[in-house]
Structure 1
Amino acid sequence: MSRKLVRPRQGRMLAGVCAGLAQRFGMSAGMIRLLFLLSLLLPGTQVIVYLVLWILMPNEDAYARY
């Protein structure tokens, strides 16, 4: 079974982006969230990337129909 990049219904905190990335890459959601929070200490476009992923990543429900 291939892992798709989707925002899961379970394990969300805000939009489910970190939980979806964790599922896709086989990591814990807590680790992805921690890495994201630590990345906020560096200059960059992390928040914009998060918002773009929120918009582009489909909900898990979108794939349940197929």
Structure 2
Amino acid sequence: MSRKLFRSKSDAMIGGICGGLGEYFGIDSTIVRLLFVAGIFLGGGAIFIYLIAMIIIPKEGEVR
């Protein structure tokens, strides 16, 4: 069974990226969110990664 990465609808604050990554890797989405916030303060690259992920990763239930 292959897992697919989706943006979460149920565990979303902004775009569902952190919730989707948490579900995909089987960890709490709060940890993923904290990592993104740390990435913002440690250089700002996380903002661009998040925006690109919002464009590339489909929402849960959508087919691309």
Using structure 2 for the length normalisation, give the TM-score. 0.87
For 1:16 and 1:44, the matched residues in 2 are separated by 19
Q: Match for residue 3 of structure 2?
A: 3
Q: Superposed, which structure 2 residues align to 1:1-66 within 5 Å? A: 1-63=1-63
Unaligned runs of 5+ in 2: none
List structure 1 runs of 4+ shifted beyond 4 angstroms: none
Counterpart of 1:18, as a letter, is C
How far 1:59 sits from its partner (Å)?
0.8
**Percent of pairs with identical residues:** 38
- Count, aligned residues: 63
Unaligned runs of 5+ in 1: none
Counterpart of 1:51, as a letter, is L
8 Å CA contact retained: 2:18, 2:32: yes
